[in-house]
Amino acid sequence: MDLDIVILAAGQGTRMVSDLPKVLHPLAGQPLLRHVIDSALALVPRSLNVVIGHGAERVRASLGDVSANWVVQQAQLGTGHAVQQALPLLARDGTTLILYGDVPLVRESTLRELVAIANEGTLALLTVELDDPSGYGRILRDADGRVAAIVEHKDATVAQHAVREVNTGIMALPNARLHHWLPALGNDNAQGEYYLTDVIAMAARSGVGVRPLTASDEQEVAGVNNREQLAVLERAWQARKARELLLAGV
């Protein structure tokens, strides 16, 4: 499979209130990032690229057994900027899957489905519907129901805040398109950052199209921003494993 994977793991995680880089906080005895890497490697990609920043050397040392391209994002200027750091390592053919180092419970089956969609030449976007979408980028659709763009929470209007379908950040897209769109990203927004989500509007305008895939449950795509969220996902992991064992007759 001509698949490249980029994992974004450069964030500082100040809300964890810890000197430990966020992606190294343990879930089920393993760093958050280890769970994401294991899911990525299950897809047998031709390249695995991990973008690190805060505590970069500590992150790399903790996962020294992983065969990956470790890319340092010196300044955290947004998700688009993070992927730009890995762009020179990505071939111009094939597909790229973009994951996040603090989203540990995404299923391998979901990722395979997302990649299969992107392999058809479109941009595949993983979405989820939330009762409380506060803080998340909203999915904007056109009059025909097609995904037209994503607006970040801080840039959204009052009406857009009512949208419950949100962006998980996880996407897969043709490498040729990624090489074309990433250099065109701008930072004219409330945060002054380069948003990866801006490629959604580029895809819609170019006619490539965006095909959303809805996650099976909220916890599958939940990220960790504080210790409370980490505890919630720890319990979710335990429940998932218990169910797997029960169904296996253990």
For residue 216, the model assigns a pLDDT of 85
Q: Which structural domains are found in the chain, ordered by start?
A: 3-126+167-247 (3.90.550.10)
Cα separation of 144 and 162, whole Å? 19
Do residues 88 and 129 make contact, with C-beta atoms less than 8 angstroms apart? Answer: no
**By C-alpha distance, which of 243, 175, 148 is closest to 4?**
175
Active-site residue numbers? 15
Q: Which residues pair with 138 in a beta bridge?
A: 151, 166
For residue 1, the model assigns a pLDDT of 64
CB count within 10 Å of CB 155 equals: 15
Q: Is the dihedral of CA 27, 31, 36, 39 positive or negative?
A: negative
Per-residue pLDDT of the chain (250 residues; tens, 9 = 90+): 699 999 999 998 999 999 999 999 999 999 999 999 999 999 999 999 999 999 999 999 999 999 999 999 999 999 999 999 999 999 999 999 999 999 999 999 999 999 999 999 999 999 999 999 998 999 999 999 999 999 999 999 999 999 999 999 999 999 999 999 999 999 999 899 999 999 999 999 999 989 999 998 999 999 999 999 999 999 999 999 999 999 999 8
